Amino acid sequence: MKRATLGHQLRILNAECGRFSDTATAEIEKLGDVTHVEADRDYLLQNIENYEVIIIALRNTIDREILDRAGKLRFIVTPTTGHNHIDCVSSQEKNIQIISLRGETKFLESITATAELSWGLLLSLIRHIPSAYDDVLSGRWDRNKYYGNELNGKTLGIIGYGRLGKMVGRYGRAFGMSILAHDQKKIPKESETEFVSLDELLARSDVVTLHLPLNKDTYGMLDTLCFQKIKQHAIFINTARGEIVNEGALIEALKTGKVAAAATDVLADEVSIMENWLQNSKLANYARDHPNLIITPHIGGLTYESVEQTNNFIIHSLKHFLRTQKIL
């Protein structure tokens, strides 16, 4: 743990300091009295009362129990677009300002990491890359076990045609795919993208990718009925939020072959404060014995480039708010 006291005495807890470069760390230290520590829940419960600002990413869940002990806290700073790791209701009740990447559309247009991971997961599924790699490490060289599929000529269905959805659409066109899109908002039409209802998208798409924000309208949106409507043997990719998908319905679709394979970078329980949440995860337990499901630990935005850019942006946003009392 490193302690730095600079400038005025705004007390800041940088609770996931390992993700910050020396340059970004120096910028934080210009704001006041900073504690840099890789904090766990116990540390937060014991020490949060001492700080006016906490900087987090996705390791910790900031729930009411923590916020009830945070009598001095004024700002929660997080380089994420989603807020499901923060009790936003309690934060609002306590007049705690959340500074994040939500709504920062112009800036986020330069951040491609999650869209790129979506494509990596798709290629891993259709070409059986993880299984083939494990086979080689086990001493086998049996190429005939790993017939795959091509993307050229297939239909890609994108649920949520915002920043990430548009990026994934561009990747799909580069691979020779036809693009369908569905979005709950009215967005400008594109000549190379066909906008359709959700039911039509599910029925026609060989690959379905999910790029929606989590909110009251999208919670549990991909349910049993949706997976019943999906094209037979479709591929499903989720790099959005786990809570948007009914995990039991997805497992049933995988078991029956309705969905040929799926990959998810997110799980519905990942913000749980229970230590054994992953052992109890339905999707994780299914994936242990079934190669048609790939799970990664929410690494979509975790590239050196994107982390540096987003860290610098939220530090700048905090500075701007402290100076002007306005969000960028």
Question: Would you name the residues annotated as active-site residues?
Answer: 241, 270, 298
In whole angstroms, give the CA distance from residue 60 to residue 273. 8
Is residue 280 within 8 Å of 273, Cβ to Cβ? no
**Residue located via tokens 């975790």:** 302
Angstrom distance (rounded) from CA 67 to CA 54: 11
Query: What's the farthest any 2 CA atoms get from each other in the chain?
Result: 66
DSSP letter at 38 equals B
CA 7 to chain centre: 35
| Burial per residue of 86-109, b for 16 or more beta-carbon CB atoms within 10 angstroms, e otherwise | bbeebbeeeebbbbbbeebeeebe
| C-alpha to C-alpha distance for 17 and 19, rounded to whole angstroms | 5
Tokens of 69: 């002990």
- 126 phi and psi angles, rounded to 5 deg: -75, -20
Query: 210: closest CA among 253, 246, 241, 252?
Result: 241
Query: Which uninterrupted H or E stretch holds 5?
Result: strand 2-5
Report whether 57 contacts 19 (CB < 8 A): yes
Quote the CA–CA distance of 87 and 288 in Å, as a whole number. 31
- The residue type found at 306 is S
Report yes or no: 63 and 96 within 8 Å, Cβ to Cβ: no
